[in-house]
Structure formats: C-alpha cells, structure tokens
Chains A and B, each alone.
Chain A
Amino acid sequence: QSALAQPASVSGSPGQSITISCTGTYSDVEKHNLVSWYRQYPGKAPEVIIFEVNKGPSGISNRFSGSKSGNTASLTIFGLQAEDEADYYCCSYADTPTHVVFGGGTKLTVL
C-alpha cells in the first residue's frame, strides 16, 4: 500500500479538465509545501510536471496546475489532449525518517 492515496483511474474527453487527488497526512502533504507530480508513459521514466505544490518546470505545458488544501494535494489538467494519457504520481517530502513518499499512481484515460 502506497503512502499517499490516489484514485486508481480517471478519464475525460478531449478539451475537458480533470483533477487527480493525492491524500496524505499531516506529516507529509499538509506540513510541507513539497508536493511534486510526475507523468509516466508506458515503459518510460517518470517526468516531473509540477514541483513544490504549484510550480511548473520549464518546458512543461501550463495546462498542468497543482494545488493543496490540508492533507490533500491536487493536479488539474486543463484542455485534455490525447497525449495526456499516461500514469500520474504524486510525491511529497515527509518528516524524518521517512523523507520521501509517493502515491499509488492514477491512470488517466482520454476518451
């Protein structure tokens, strides 16, 4: 069982927006503004798309947006495109001695 809880799957049609939740505890998501999100295509390495809750790396589309409320972080993808179909993982820094925890991943299907 992963440390952070994510829905196993979400789906949406092209052009729609979807949100993926990531629920942790006070010791990780709530206490630290150090939530990151990764996109992973089948057979490929993950790629960071959001870091420190709501910051986007250069080169990543601004259709990806991150937020946090209490012990739950969220990733919203605006204007879904076929290329967004992938697995998405959240990650958070956590109090010592844990340090880093990941979510169980969410499979996004673009209908």
Chain B
Amino acid sequence: QLQLQGSGPGLVKPSETLSLTCAVSSGSISDSDYWWGWIRQPPGKWLEWIGSIYHSGATYYNSSLKSRVAISVDTSKNSFSLRLSSVTAADTAVYYCARQPSYGKWYFNLWGRGALVTVSS
C-alpha cells in the first residue's frame, strides 16, 4: 500500500528557508492522475493548505504563501519537495504531505505522518 514519509530539519532559523521532502513508497509518484500536496498545522491550530503538484511539475499554491513557496517533484527519486523562504515563528507547524486523487478531486485521501518544523534562533 502506498505510503508517504516527510522528512527534513526540525529546526530552522528565522529568515532562512525551510526545506522538506516527501518520499513516496510502494507506488510511483507518476501513477495515475494523482496530485501531491503539502498541508501544515501550527501547534493547537487548524490545517492550512500550502500547495499541490502534479508529476509533470504543474503546481497550484495558496495565494497567501505563493511569494515564499516552491514545490517541486523528482520522479527519479519518487519524491516531491517543499521550500518555504524567509520563515518566521508563524511558520512553526507540523507539515504534512498528502495525496489528491486527481485534478478536480480537491481532497486528500492519503497523508504522511507529519514533520514538526520549529522556527527559532
């Protein structure tokens, strides 16, 4: 069964760039019409969609984060990645990678375990 595993530094300094990678296992990131997304959740708060990517590289971003976000895909490594620049304490959150069934199917039916990223000096 396909699984997602996010990974990356757990601590990032203010003004630096947060980088996370989500590895897709037991399946191909290029399979079917899946889109792949990043969602975050600050401690004790609600979920926030960051953006989604197709294996071709097509992307959609949350307009409130678009100026700082870049999501990319590496089909050779069967993974996709998130970069969030100029981070502040407000970017401290658990970051989830997740799968959308297809474009137009705007829900997430498979989630990774989540990676806590703390922004602090």
* Residues of A that sit less than 8 Å from B by CB: 2, 32, 34, 36, 38, 45-48, 51-52, 57, 89, 91-93, 97-105
Contacts and interface: CB of A to CB of B under 8 A. Distances in A.
Interface residues of B, number: 20
A98 B63 contact: yes
A102 B46 contact: yes
A102 B108 contact: no
B107 A48 contact: yes
Nearest to B6: A45
A57 B105 CA distance: 13
Interface of B: 46-49, 52, 60-63, 66, 96, 105-109, 111-114
Contacts of B48: 102
Nearest to A100: B49
B96 A45 contact: yes
B109 A99 contact: no
B46 A34 contact: no
Given A45-B112, A45-B113, A51 B46 contact: no
A10 B112 CA distance: 28
Contact of B47 (A51, A57, A102): A102
Contacts of A91: 47, 49, 106-107
